[in-house]
Amino acid sequence: MKKRFMSIVTALAISASFITGCSKGDKVDSTMQSSENGGKQILKFGCFDYVDSIDPGNMINAAWNCTRFGVGECLFRFNDAMEAEPCLCDTYEVSSDHKTWTFHIRDGVKFSNGEDVTAQKVADCYERLFACEGSSTPEKFLDCASMAADDASGSLTIKTNTAYPDLRKNLAYPVFAVLDVENTKNFDEGAIGTGPYAVTEFEAAVGVDFKANQYYWNGEVPFDGMELKFINDSSAKTMALQSGQVDLVENITEVSDLNTLKEDKSYDVTTANGVRCGFTSINQDGLLKNDALRQAVLMAVDTDTLCNVTLGGLYTPGFSVLPSNLNYHYDELNNPYAYDVEKAKQLLDTAGIVDSDGDGIRELDGTPVKLNYITYDNRGLATLAEGVQHLLKEIGIDTAIHTTDGDTLWNLTVSGEYDLSSGNWTTVGTGDPQEYLANWYSKGTANYCNYKNEKYDELYEKLLTEMDEAGRTALIAEMQQILIDDAAVLVHGYYNSSMCSSKKVKGAVIHTADYYWITTEIKPAE
């Protein structure tokens, strides 16, 4: 990659870091590279550096990079209703016990190196994925008993130990992007996929260069190539777009910047009420195991104001762990802990959680109620934490905010070193919330909040074996209400993703799923 760094964007990124600040651990890339296009149409994309890899076998974020950047594709693809639609697989069959699945690989599809995509190539890719020592955990999505490829018929048969209601959804997850295992030398930086763009050069923490996939199977690739620039500061992304150094950026999270772009006719801004939930986990292995205290915390937080005013609509406010736009009966759920400061104070008084020494902080069993709140500066989470801190102070609850990077926050959450922990999670990563709902299943390994409810566990175990979609929906709705009634989690709302572009391009929309950013929908403006 040619390192001809632009001083103007260096200045922009540096100034943005002073204006907005950076969370600990951020790698703010304050340089942008110019390109001598030679008459070619090159898309210039500014993107947060989520991880320095595009290898699905490395970690989940790397798998998302692979599909987000237009490199890899899966057998199936999610539409905006989070339904699995055919992609590299055109037809399939499933046995009556939902444990034998046969997928026909679409004829005529090639990798970006010109090699044919065959059933055996898909099997090789999956086998390599399961053999990787990364943190992608493909076994969470596919409990595979055996795989058999038949290139003569173009079919891949997968037998599973577990019955799946719809295995297509799991195989649409980016971890299962189909790559040419035999010919890829460096999966982290140069994975060979079937998408519209192919990597030509990868420079960690700086950016990635791409060329059009001349063998792309699903229509014309509109650009000759793409230059992706890693820019970790939201305001720096905004200024890079305004200065013309990039044509397209994802997820501007500074509200003032996003509003400025929306109001300027020089830019197109699309937002989507996606499937991410912004919430704060509540650790019930500490002060917050007290029911009245948890309930009062929820009642003290003005979610509507935080989402609509403080964050300017970055989140759609809500009270359940699954977004209101999904078909899980949100409108039928009841929230007994709606915002009510006086009711929260009365609840604490009745429970004997009072300020006995007059210092403004209530005590529980003689211990001041001071909560350890861990957060990180991404998607407005740090701002939400500060808002919660202010609101809890009004009812006599103290919080100490510890702002860190995403990896450290996760490690602290896993180890239980928190009372409150910020999160922004995809709720239906495989088009279904089963994996996400495991975070509150007491018998599982993902329950880092120490929540336990026997009825919830019973319903979750029923969900594991329920094959009927209507039956699953009913179970999921009941599980949501249990979490709400137990004040198990502080839900803020549902994140609205965004894509912002200059008038040099058209068709830059944000999809419900976080997995598809660079697609052939994005074209040069006519």
Q: What does the alpha-carbon distance between residue 67 and residue 69 come to, in Å, rounded to a whole number?
A: 5
In the numeric block, which tokens belong to residue 454? 């026997």
Q: Got the DSSP string for 235-272? A: HHHHHHHHTTS-SEEE----HHHHHHHHH-TTEEEEEE
The CA-atom distances, in angstroms, between 433 and each of 170, 440, 464, 475, 521 are 11, 12, 11, 11, 28
The CA-atom distances, in angstroms, between 236 and each of 139, 259, 278, 406 are 38, 15, 24, 20
Q: What does the alpha-carbon distance between residue 234 and residue 20 come to, in Å, rounded to a whole number?
A: 8
Q: What does the alpha-carbon distance between residue 165 and residue 171 come to, in Å, rounded to a whole number?
A: 13
pLDDT given at position 19: 33
User: What is the average per-residue pLDDT within 191-199?
Assistant: 98
Q: 1-49+205-266+503-526 and 273-496 share one CATH topology?
A: no
DSSP 8-state code for residue 140: G
User: What is the average per-residue pLDDT within 141-152?
Assistant: 97
pLDDT at 23 over 70: no
Residue 177: alpha-carbon gap to chain centroid: 17
pLDDT given at position 14: 33
Q: How confident is the model at residue 34 (pLDDT cuts 50, 70, 90)?
A: very low
pLDDT given at position 114: 98
pLDDT at 36 over 60: no
pLDDT at 18 over 60: no
Indicate the SS3 state at residue 482.
Answer: helix
Domain spans in the chain, listed from the N-terminal domain onward:
1-49+205-266+503-526, 53-191, 273-496
User: What is the average per-residue pLDDT within 74-102?
Assistant: 96
Who has greater pLDDT, 502 or 37?
502
Q: pLDDT tens, 405-448?
A: 888 998 999 999 999 999 999 999 999 999 999 999 999 989 99
Q: Between 3.40.190.10, 3.40.50.300, 1.10.3720.10, 3.90.110.10, what CATH number should domain 1-49+205-266+503-526 receive? A: 3.40.190.10
Q: Between 1.10.40.50, 3.40.50.300, 3.40.190.10, 3.30.300.210, what CATH number should domain 53-191 receive? A: 3.40.190.10
User: What is the average per-residue pLDDT within 188-195?
Assistant: 96
User: What is the average per-residue pLDDT within 345-350?
Assistant: 98
User: What is the average per-residue pLDDT within 213-226?
Assistant: 98
User: What is the average per-residue pLDDT within 332-347?
Assistant: 98
Q: pLDDT tens, 361-414?
A: 999 999 999 999 999 988 899 999 999 999 999 999 999 999 998 889 989 999
Query: Token match 């002073």: residue?
Result: 18
Indicate the SS3 state at residue 10.
Answer: helix
pLDDT given at position 322: 97
* Other beta carbons less than 10 A from residue 243's beta carbon: 14
pLDDT given at position 415: 94
Q: What does the alpha-carbon distance between residue 44 and residue 228 come to, in Å, rounded to a whole number?
A: 6
Q: What does the alpha-carbon distance between residue 289 and residue 282 come to, in Å, rounded to a whole number?
A: 9
For the chain, the average pLDDT equals 91
Query: How many helices (H) and strands (E) in the chain?
Result: 15, 21
pLDDT at 294 over 60: yes
Q: Which residues of 51-88 are buried (b: 16+ CB within 10 A; e: fewer)?
A: bbbbbbbbbbbbbbbbbbbbbbbbbbbbeeebebeebb
In the numeric block, which tokens belong to residue 244? 């013309």
Q: What does the alpha-carbon distance between residue 442 and residue 237 come to, in Å, rounded to a whole number?
A: 41
pLDDT at 28 over 70: no
pLDDT at 1 over 70: no
pTM of the predicted structure, to 2 decimals? 0.84
Q: pLDDT tens, 316-337?
A: 999 999 999 998 999 999 999 9
Check whether domain 273-496 has CATH 1.10.540.10, yes or no: no
